[in-house]
Structure formats: structure tokens, C-alpha cells
Structure 1
Amino acid sequence: MIGRRALLASAPGLAMPAIARAQALFTRPVRFVLGFAAGGAGDITVRMLTPHMQAEIGQPIVVDNRPGAGGLISGEAVARAAPDGHTMYLLTTSNMAAPAFYRAMPFDVTRDFTPVGRMVWYDHVIAVNPRLPVASLTELVALAKARPGQLNIGSIAVGNAQHLGVELFRAMAQVDMTTVTYRSSPELILSLSNGEIQVAGELLAPLMPHVLSGAVKLLAVTAPTRFPSLPNVPTSAESGMPDYLVRSWNAIVFPAGTPRPQVEAMNRAIRRALAVPEIRARLIELGGLPEASSPEELGAMIPREVAAWGHMAQLAGVQKQ
């Protein structure tokens, strides 16, 4: 009969607790690449979750903000990184929309990454400067039609989900508004609050503090249902645009070929962070809806999302660059 000690020695992975096994897989700090500047929804989410994720994997997670080109620069950097679990990427709906904006892509989002897991859904909103004389989406559309070419609508950089959401709004509402793009959410929100632009299409999360302070006003949430903490803000469907539904999400991916043990360990790290009651409450307070997924669920979701955002780009009349 094989003794218990000999059995454990022959299968050390079975003898180690899950957290100890995860910590053995990561031998140095993990670089977490984001395609956005600091202050946006993705950045806010990541900086809330990483302290709890670090505790799971036993190594620091270093956030690396690389904004620009709709996530092409950051995505390419991760796609070409060593598939050893020490470089990961914040995949977002902007990556799903990018193929609709660019003729040439430096990576294939369905082929060049290993899915780890989804983290948070983020509703989009249509917001206005409080001094604009409108109280609803219907009134905004009417004003824009009465003043063709006189209203500016802002989004962050060309090629991401917010920008496509804005172009889809202009097309579906059939309004002549000038789109103005910004490098980051803070820059966009500053311009909206000071009146440089009158309207913005943005994620709810970075706007939430400014909504509560009265610096900006929300007209509609572009989601199937009203946001839990904003029961008085109607949906786009309730505001006369039933087909205008735009939602974002974020997830973690590794470079293609990353071993399964690292994938499973980081998926556990996501679930651990999202299970913290204070984190869940804070995400909802900030405008996010936490919902973890398995690697397989994310892997099946990505090609569906690329197709859906491509269809939205066609409806918006987007021309590839």
C-alpha cells in the first residue's frame, strides 16, 4: 500500500490549497495593460479589483495605461507578449467595435487572445450640459433638428464603443450634430460640464459623480432596463428610441497560448474580487453591474459581440479608415 506521505509527494499539486497553487504559477508581477487613459470606467474598475486579485495570485498586478487608436496599440502589445500568464489585457467592447472602424487590424481579437473571464457590464447614457434647454431624449432630438449643425456631441476616441454609440445615435435619430472626440473620459466630461460640447454619449460609470453633483444631466440610459440606483432616468426605449440599445462590458484576456492553469487561477482571482460585498456595492454605485463569467463563456461571447458591433457600425454608416 502506498503511504499517504508518498502519495502527496508524488502529486504535490493535489496537496496544495487552491490559493497556494495559484501563487506558485505567478513568479513575478503581472502587467495589466489597458487601452485607456486613467479615469475612465475600465481604469476605475481595474484599480478597485486588482488589490483583491493580487491576494489570490500572490504577486503584484501593475496597471499599464496605453491609450490610443481605439485599443489597437495596447491590444497589439499584449497579443505579441509571451504567453506565460504575466501579461494580460483589459478586453472591452471597444475591441469588438474596432474592426468596423479600421481596414487593417494588427491583431485578431478572436484568435490572438486566450479568454479568462468577463468582469463588469457598463450601461451607456446620453448626457447633456444642464444649461441645454431639454429634459428628455425626445426634446434633444427635436432641438437638434431645429438647429441643424449647431450642437456638438462628444465621445472618447475614434474607434471605440462610445464613439460608435454616438454615431449610431446620430444616424438613428436622423440629426445633424458635430461629433467631437477626446482622449479620455475626464476630458470629455470637463468639456460637457463647461459647455464646450452640449451633448455626450458615454458610459454611466465615469459620469456618475458628475450627475450626482449636478454638473451634467442624464436624459436616457441606453440599456434594456433602468439602472438600479437611477430609477428616474428612463431607458432609450422609454424615450422614443426602442432600437437604440448600446451596452459595454470588460473582461480579462491573456496572449493566445497561455497555459490553462494560469487562466483558471486568474479567473478565480476575478471571482474572488467580485465576490467582495463592498466591491460589488461600489461598482453598482459607480454605474457598473458586476457579472463574472467562465473562460468558455467569454470565448463564445467574443465573436458574437464582434458581429453585433459590426452590424451597429453598418447602421451608423461608419466608413473604415
Structure 2
Amino acid sequence: MIARRALLGSASVLALPAVVRAQALFTRPVRFVLGFAAGGAGDITVRMLVPHMQAEIGQPIVVDNRPGAGGIISAEAVARAAPDGHTMYLLTTSNMAAPAFYRTMPFDVTRDFAPVGRMVWYDHVIAVNPQLPVNTLAELIAYAKARPGTLNIGSIAVGNAQHLGVELFRAMAGAPMTTVTYRSSPELITALSTGEIQVAGELLAPTLPQVQAGRVKLLAVTAPTRFPTLPDVLTSAESGLPDYIVRSWNAIVFPANTPRPQIEAMNRAIRRALGVPEIRNRLIELGGLPEASSPEELGAMIPNEVAAWGRMAQLAGVEKQ
């Protein structure tokens, strides 16, 4: 009789709608840790999606910006957090690139996290200050070669995807420019628009507002195809660098050993948010390409991405610190 009642009880729980089951799994606010300052592409994306994700899980999701060390400090904090579904991390390509910059890491990105799901792809761009007399990537490379050491090219934070993208560009183009790093995307883009630096490698998303205002000029999108809302901006391949393809993405992970029900519930929350037409359209307007994945797809993607960014670091001649 007891066994029968237990089975009936379990069956009744399983019969509940997925949203109700999800809300039973999360019993307090969920802390969502980001490894960079407010205002960047990932931060903008997260703050758009969070209200819809909260509705799915029935608890507030508190965004916790913790910039520094290319996301290593924040990622380590989440890797060591309790695996109960109430702490999660915005995993990005910067976490994939970090092992190529550092000899030792305080965690293993392929082992110490439980994949939940990918959210958005972000194309990178090469942009310049409008006062620089170049209009194409080929013209920029020629200008830099004719004036070695006079141009500064900016990126954010040593050890992340944007920085590695810049170093790879310098190496593949043979362009003698000096790399200058900034703490955040807003700081980098401000430096570019004011002429503090002449060139920048950055994600398209945080660059777009300054492009639309005429304060920054795009030379190329470093993706296989042109961005849907920027049909006149050439790809790097069309600009003479066919092998220079650099793209970023972001995803959600929990600490390793988080129970499967919490993982599945948060994956549904991602899909719910990305399924809102206004959200999808706004992400595209902002320079992102929404594309959810399953936990398994993300889990298979992570080691492949770590290996790919490692190969890029070798091509760029990056020395580990």
C-alpha cells in the first residue's frame, strides 16, 4: 500500500505542467554570475532574457557582474559553488580561450561545470575611428604596414576571446599595430570613438550604437557570412583574409553535479525566453544571433571550442603567462 501510494504520488508530480515542476525545484533566488562588467554583449543579452526565465522557474534571477582576469575569478567562484541549481554562470568563448593564455587554471572548464544550454552567437568585427583614412580591411592593413608601430588596436581584457581575435588578426594580416587592452566593452568603444585608439577588435553587439551614431566605422565582420542587418559590411574573407573567422557565443552552466531536473528546467527557461519574438528580433537588432541548444549539444561543443581556440592562439603566437 505504501509503495502504491508513493508511485501514485510520483505520477501526480510528473503529471504537473513543466512550469509548475520547475517552480518546485528552485526555492530561493538564483544568482547568475557574469565574468565582465555591465554594458557588454553578454550583460545586455542576460538582462533581456532574465524576466522571461524568472517566469519559468518561479524565482528571481539576480545578475552578479564580477569582472576581472578574463572571467577566471568569476568562473572559479561558480565552479566551487554548491551544485543545487541556485548559482549559474554565463559561459562564453572567453572561457574557451583562457587556457591558451594561462599555464595553470584554477578549474577545468570541460569538467567542473554542468552544461545547461547555449543562447546566442555573436559575430566579431574590425572597427576603426572614422578619422582614420581607410574604408576596407585591405586598406587598413596597407596603412598599418606603411606606418609600422603608429596604430593602436584595442581589445578588452587580456585572456579573452576578443583579445585573442585581435592578436590573431595582427598575426594573419602581418599588421604592425600595438595592442591596448581595456576593462570593458564600453571603455574600449569610447576609446575608439574619441581617437584614443585607431582600431578595435570587438563583438558587433556593443559596437553597433556607436556605428549607428557615426562615431565608429566598421570595416569587416569576422564571420562566414555577412550579418543580416548589415548587408553592406563585408566579411573578413571577402576583404582578403579568408581564414580569419572569429565568432563568440554565450551559454549557461551550473556547477558540476547539479541535479538533472534543475538543468532541464533552466534549459526550458532559456528556450522560453529565446522563443519570444520581440526578444529574438531585438537580439538580432543588437548584433546577436539567438540559437538555443540542448545540454548535450553544449557539452559536446565545449571541448571542441577549447581545442579550436588553442589552435588560434598558436597561430597568433600567444605565449602563456
The TM-score, its normalising length taken from structure 2, stands at 0.98
Residues 145-294 of structure 1 mapped to structure 2, 5 A cutoff: 145-294=145-294
Q: Compared with structure 1, are the counterparts of its residues 6 and 33 closer, same or farther at alpha carbon in structure 2 (3 Å cutoff)?
A: closer
Contact 1:8/1:15 (8 A) holds in 2: no
- 1:237-279 Cα offsets, whole Å, 9 max, x none, are 0000000000000000000000000000000000000000000
Where in structure 1 do 4 or more consecutive aligned residues deviate above 2 Å? 5-12
Q: In structure 1, how many angstroms separate the alpha carbons of the residues matched to 2:175 and 2:229?
A: 30
Whether 1:116 aligns to 2:116 is: yes
- 1:100-137 Cα offsets, whole Å, 9 max, x none, are 00011010000000000000000000000000000000
Contact 1:8/1:14 (8 A) holds in 2: no
Whether 1:18 aligns to 2:27 is: no
| Cα drift, residue 13 of structure 1 | 1.8
| Cα drift, residue 7 of structure 1 | 6.7
Contact 1:171/1:315 (8 A) holds in 2: yes
Q: Percent identity?
A: 87
Q: In structure 1, how many angstroms separate the alpha carbons of the residues matched to 2:242 and 2:190?
A: 30
- Letter of the structure 2 residue corresponding to residue 315 of structure 1: L
Q: In structure 1, how many angstroms separate the alpha carbons of the residues matched to 2:30 and 2:312?
A: 35
Q: In structure 1, how many angstroms separate the alpha carbons of the residues matched to 2:10 and 2:165?
A: 56
Q: In structure 2, how many angstroms separate the alpha carbons of the residues matched to 1:71 and 1:14?
A: 38
Q: In structure 1, how many angstroms separate the alpha carbons of the residues matched to 2:6 and 2:102?
A: 58
Contact 1:237/1:243 (8 A) holds in 2: yes
Q: 3-state SS of the aligned residue for 1:109?
A: coil
- 1:58-117 Cα offsets, whole Å, 9 max, x none, are 000000001110111000000000000000000000000000000110100000000000
Whether 1:87 aligns to 2:87 is: yes
Structure 2: gaps spanning 5 or more residues:
none
Q: 3-state SS of the aligned residue for 2:279?
A: helix
Contact 1:26/1:85 (8 A) holds in 2: yes
Q: In structure 2, how many angstroms separate the alpha carbons of the residues matched to 1:13 and 1:103?
A: 48
Residues 35-114 of structure 1 mapped to structure 2, 5 A cutoff: 35-114=35-114
* Number of equivalences: 318
Q: In structure 2, how many angstroms separate the alpha carbons of the residues matched to 1:195 and 1:76?
A: 36
Q: 3-state SS of the aligned residue for 1:225?
A: coil
Q: In structure 1, how many angstroms separate the alpha carbons of the residues matched to 2:78 and 2:107?
A: 10
